[in-house]
């Protein structure tokens, strides 16, 4: 249970679906309630598929590119920490590249936004993918793999529920409430990123 909470907490914090809520609301203003639900379902399903592929194909990606686990943890830690700083400073949308004029034009002209920009890069970005590849390399048996799969499944369900209820969440919390919670999550995400970097640094030091 303790391992599950650690894995789920890290995964859900790094994905930070709360930060995607304002984007979802902005992109689905003209949608009906059923259409919003469909978009939320497709986005969460895409996230589930991306996370599972990232976890199970992780070791092959590392072998193909000749990347060590420690290098991945340092690079992933930097990405995760930078995402945390973006949340902490209120620049999460900019960090994901959503503020660029060309990107905004493309997003608003899309018929289906469930894969991009919602699933990628807003929720399942590089930090999330590197986190799961690291979990794959650190897996200690079938029970650990099942725990990660369970955490991925639960995260996807919660993402669906949050996106589906995004308009209600915005009404209840307001922009200031979402911003405050995002900053708290950002602090946690920074800590996760630094933990990755420190862990990899210690491993490299022991090898030396």
Q: What is the pLDDT of residues 109-135, one digit of tens each?
A: 556 788 888 888 789 888 898 899 888
The answer on pLDDT for 107 being more than 60 is: no
pLDDT, tens only, 47-87? 999 999 999 987 788 888 888 888 888 888 898 888 888 88
pTM, two decimals, is 0.84
| Alpha-carbon span 25 to 19, nearest angstrom | 11
User: What does the buried/exposed string (b/e) look like for 166-185 if buried means 16 or more CB atoms within 10 Å of the residue's CB?
Assistant: bbebbeeeeeeebbebbeeb
Domain with 181, as residue range(s), is 2-207
Give the total number of structural domains in the chain. Answer: 1
Identify which of 131, 130, 121, 128 has the alpha carbon closest to the alpha carbon of residue 97: 121
Q: What per-residue confidence (pLDDT) applies to 157?
A: 96
- Over pLDDT 90: what percentage of the chain? 24
CB 182 within 8 A of CB 174: no
- Over pLDDT 70: what percentage of the chain? 90
The answer on pLDDT for 179 being more than 70 is: yes
């Amino acid at each position: 249970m303790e391992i599950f909470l650690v894995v789920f907490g890290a995964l859900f914090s790094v994905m930070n679906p709360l930060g995607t809520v304002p984007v979802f609301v902005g992109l689905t203003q003209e949608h009906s309630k059923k259409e919003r639900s469909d978009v939320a379902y497709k986005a969460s399903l895409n996230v589930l598929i991306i996370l599972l592929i990232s976890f199970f194909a992780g070791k092959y990606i590392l072998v193909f590119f000749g990347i060590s686990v420690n290098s991945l943890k340092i690079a992933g830690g930097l990405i995760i920490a930078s995402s945390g700083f973006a949340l902490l400073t209120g620049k999460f949308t900019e960090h994901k590249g959503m503020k660029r004029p060309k990107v905004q034009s493309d997003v608003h002209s899309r018929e289906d936004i469930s894969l991009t920009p919602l699933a990628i890069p807003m929720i399942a970005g590089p930090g999330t993918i590197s986190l799961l590849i690291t979990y794959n390399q650190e897996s200690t048996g079938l029970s650990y793999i099942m725990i990660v799969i369970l955490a991925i499944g639960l995260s996807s369900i919660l993402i669906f529920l949050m996106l589906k209820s995004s308009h209600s969440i915005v009404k209840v919390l307001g922009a200031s409430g979402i911003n405050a919670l995002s900053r708290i999550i950002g602090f946690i995400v920074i800590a996760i990123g630094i933990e990755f970097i420190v862990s990899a640094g210690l491993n490299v030091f022991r090898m030396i």
